[in-house]
């Protein structure tokens, strides 16, 4: 389109009629239909960067691009992402994941058809972009009057939804990896720190144990050494206390420390802390030290303190190692690394691994598990279902804002495995509930949600696993219910 053609189109003259008739979406219109279309057109010229519509605004019109370009963007987690570009020049011929050529020439139809808001922001790209806008009532009248419009619009609409879902799946994969990394880092922090600290302190502790053993062996006779051997053996069998009274423990530690210091021990604090941690007091210690004479008592106490310290550090290492292994195993199972995509699996394993990954987000929230006994295994794609569980649990945690109860319930009902995820959060408004599985529909603030999380969960459950997902909600009681067939084989595709 030349400069004069652009001017004519923007002012609504003969140039507009010609420009509209040259578009694929309007190419099949009759003369009467074209006359009507020109009469209801609202052409406008945008400068570079001018916004045509914004993400989150109420959808008011259907926009047709006559000349120039539009860039469509969306803010996701604080980052502005380019979703697509519409162009009338050479850019329109570029392959864009199979984008239909007609898709370059119009936008805004999806929120009008779903009675929603714009799901992205469109701005002009180039010095002069000419756009024709058709208000909502006119758009629906257009579909009624001009049957050929729908024949072009619907395939483009289908491509856009599919393309958005592909982008959302990629984004969900990245977000899942981020969530996985954050959760794993959070959970590994404590056992890793324990390993590092124990490893750092184990060397000096072993040196102290060696010195104490030498001093004690040189000072004590066989009978007295036998007394300490019995104490060491008994301490090895003392289990950690089931419950701890912090005040009583502090008093016991102080009492043992003061007594050991008066007896001449070099490390009375270590001895007091170690025995108090085991729930023991000064009376227990003095009773078992009968038979150890006063001259060798300091050596006995220092040797005992060094022995307890070394054992404590070894116990920390023994506890931290399996914890790290458990976290790595949970991470592997969550992501289903090194496994075939379709497999037999236990649904509860995926739920438990999801809780491990999201533990940081569940701080302050009580978790109740209600798993029926002897649950059968399913055949399907556990890594994809883990995305569903993650999405549902994450939404529940967000709704509870750090306090409340998350309930996971799994049982068999007829021919289906039923998974219920319930929370005591703020609930989903009644007018919103019927639409939560629609693509692009979100109640989150602009930039904080794509409106595709629950939709993708819906697709995974219904199309990949032939199941169903429903929601019931009231303030303080929201329940998402997933039903998965016990016998039906999953679908190989999501389209």
Q: Could you tell me if 265 and 390 lie in one domain?
A: no
Q: Could you tell me if 318 and 195 lie in one domain?
A: yes
Q: What are phi and psi of 88, to 5 degrees?
A: -105, -10
Give the pLDDT of residue 206: 65
In a domain, 334, yes or no: no
Domain encompassing residue 440: 341-485
Q: Could you tell me if 321 and 352 lie in one domain?
A: no
Kindly list the distances between the CA atom of residue 20 and the CA atoms of 14, 24, 71, 154, in Å, as whole numbers in the listed order: 10, 9, 21, 19
Q: Could you tell me if 140 and 48 lie in one domain?
A: yes
- CA-based nearest residue to 385, from 425, 342, 416, 415: 342
Q: Could you tell me if 280 and 357 lie in one domain?
A: no
**Number of domains within the chain:** 3
Dist CA 53 CA 244 (whole Å): 62
CATH number at 91 reads 2.60.120.10
- Asked if 413 contacts 483 with a C-beta cutoff of 8 angstroms, the reply is yes
- Asked if 66 contacts 19 with a C-beta cutoff of 8 angstroms, the reply is yes
Domain stops at, among 114, 145, 176: 145
Question: Which residues contact residue 114 at a Cβ distance below 8 angstroms, ignoring those fewer than 6 apart?
Answer: 438, 440, 441
* Better pLDDT: 202 or 449: 202
Q: Could you tell me if 466 and 437 lie in one domain?
A: yes
Q: Could you tell me if 298 and 352 lie in one domain?
A: no
CA 58-495-61 angle, to 5 degrees, is: 20
N-terminal to C-terminal alpha carbon distance within the chain: 38
Q: Could you tell me if 361 and 479 lie in one domain?
A: yes
Taking the mean position of all CA atoms in its chain, how far away is CA 137?
40
- CA-based nearest residue to 120, from 179, 174, 167: 167
Long-range contacts of 314-323 (CB under 8 A, 24+ apart): 314/198, 314/202, 316/194, 316/195, 316/197, 316/198, 317/194, 317/195, 317/198, 317/199, 317/202, 319/191, 319/194, 320/191, 320/192, 320/194, 320/195, 320/198, 321/191, 321/195, 323/190, 323/191
Dist CA 440 CA 165 (whole Å): 9
In a domain, 168, yes or no: no
Give the pLDDT of residue 402: 87
Give the pLDDT of residue 95: 46
Exposed, middle or buried: residue 291 (CB in 10 Å: 0-12, 13-18, 19+)? exposed
Q: Could you tell me if 31 and 112 lie in one domain?
A: yes
Q: Calculate what percentage of the chain has a pLDDT beyond 90.
A: 26
Running DSSP on this structure, what letter comes out for residue 297? Answer: H
Residue-wise pLDDT for 74-96, tens only, equals 876 667 778 888 888 655 444 45
Tally of CB atoms within 10 A around 5:
19
- Does residue 14 surpass a pLDDT of 50? yes
Running DSSP on this structure, what letter comes out for residue 241? Answer: P
Dist CA 263 CA 77 (whole Å): 63
Domain stops at, among 145, 179, 209: 145
Dist CA 330 CA 309 (whole Å): 32
Q: Could you tell me if 308 and 395 lie in one domain?
A: no
Give the pLDDT of residue 470: 92
- Does residue 169 surpass a pLDDT of 80? no
Q: Could you tell me if 308 and 353 lie in one domain?
A: no
- CA-based nearest residue to 149, from 48, 277, 30: 30
Dist CA 86 CA 129 (whole Å): 11
Pairing of strands 365-371, 404-413: parallel
Dist CA 162 CA 491 (whole Å): 17
In a domain, 495, yes or no: no
CATH number at 434 reads 3.30.565.10
In a domain, 164, yes or no: no
The average confidence (pLDDT) of the chain is: 79
In a domain, 160, yes or no: no
Give the pLDDT of residue 7: 47
Give the pLDDT of residue 458: 87
Q: Could you tell me if 43 and 87 lie in one domain?
A: yes
In a domain, 474, yes or no: yes
Residue-wise pLDDT for 107-142, tens only, equals 999 888 888 788 889 999 888 899 999 999 999 999
Domain stops at, among 293, 327, 361: 327
In a domain, 491, yes or no: no
Give the pLDDT of residue 392: 92
Give the pLDDT of residue 62: 94
In a domain, 161, yes or no: no
- Note the pTM of the prediction, 2 decimals: 0.44
Confidence tier at 440 by pLDDT (50, 70, 90): low
| Residue 66 three-state SS | strand
């Amino acid at each position: 389109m030349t400069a004069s053609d652009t001017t004519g189109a923007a002012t609504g003259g003969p140039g507009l009629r010609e420009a509209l008739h040259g578009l694929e979406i309007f190419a099949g219109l009759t003369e009467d239909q074209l006359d009507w279309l020109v009469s209801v057109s609202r052409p406008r010229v945008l400068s570079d960067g001018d916004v045509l519509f914004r993400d989150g605004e109420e959808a008011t019109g259907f926009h047709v691009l006559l000349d120039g370009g539009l860039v469509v963007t969306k803010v996701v987690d604080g980052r502005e992402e380019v979703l697509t570009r519409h162009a009338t020049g050479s850019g329109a011929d570029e392959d864009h994941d199979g984008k239909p050529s007609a898709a370059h020439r119009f936008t805004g139809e999806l929120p009008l058809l779903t009675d929603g808001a714009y799901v992205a922001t469109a701005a002009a790209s180039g010095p002069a972009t000419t756009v024709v806008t058709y208000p909502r009532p006119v758009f629906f009248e257009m579909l009624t009057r001009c049957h050929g419009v729908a024949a072009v619009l619907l395939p483009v609409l289908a491509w856009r939804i599919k393309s958005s879902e592909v982008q959302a799946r990629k984004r969900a994969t990245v977000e899942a990896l981020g969530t996985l990394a954050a959760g794993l880092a959070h959970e590994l922090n404590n056992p890793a720190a324990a390993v590092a600290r124990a490893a750092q302190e184990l060397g000096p502790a072993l040196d102290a144990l060696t010195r104490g053993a030498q001093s004690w062996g040189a000072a004590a006779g066989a009978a007295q050494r036998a007394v300490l051997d019995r104490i060491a053996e008994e301490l090895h069998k003392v289990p950690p206390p089931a419950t701890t009274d912090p005040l009583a423990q502090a008093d016991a530690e102080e009492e043992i420390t003061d007594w050991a210091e008066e007896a001449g021990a070099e490390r009375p604090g270590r001895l007091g802390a170690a025995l108090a941690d085991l729930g023991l007091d000064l009376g227990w210690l003095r009773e078992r030290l009968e038979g150890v004479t006063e001259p060798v008592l300091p050596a006995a106490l220092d040797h005992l303190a060094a022995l307890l310290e070394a054992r404590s550090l070894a116990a920390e290492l023994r506890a931290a190692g399996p914890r790290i292994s458990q976290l790595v195993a949970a991470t592997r199972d969550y992501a289903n690394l090194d496994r075939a995509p379709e497999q037999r699996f236990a649904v509860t394993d995926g739920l438990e691994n999801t809780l491990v990954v999201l533990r940081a987000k569940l701080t302050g929230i009580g978790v109740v598990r209600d798993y029926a006994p002897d649950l059968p295994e399913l055949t399907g794609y556990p890594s994809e279902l883990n995305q569903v569980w993650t999405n549902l649990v994450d939404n529940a945690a967000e709704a509870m804002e750090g306090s409340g109860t998350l309930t996971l319930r799994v049982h068999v009902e007829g021919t289906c495995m039923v998974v219920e995820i319930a929370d005591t959060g703020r609930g989903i408004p009644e007018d919103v509930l019927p639409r939560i599985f629609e693509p692009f529909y979100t109640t989150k603030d602009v930039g904080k949600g794509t409106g595709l999380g629950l939709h993708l969960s819906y697709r995974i459950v219904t199309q990949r696993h032939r199941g169903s997902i429903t929601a019931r909600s009231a303030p303080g009681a929201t329940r998402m219910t997933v039903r998965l067939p016990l016998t039906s084989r999953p679908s190989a595709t999501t389209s």
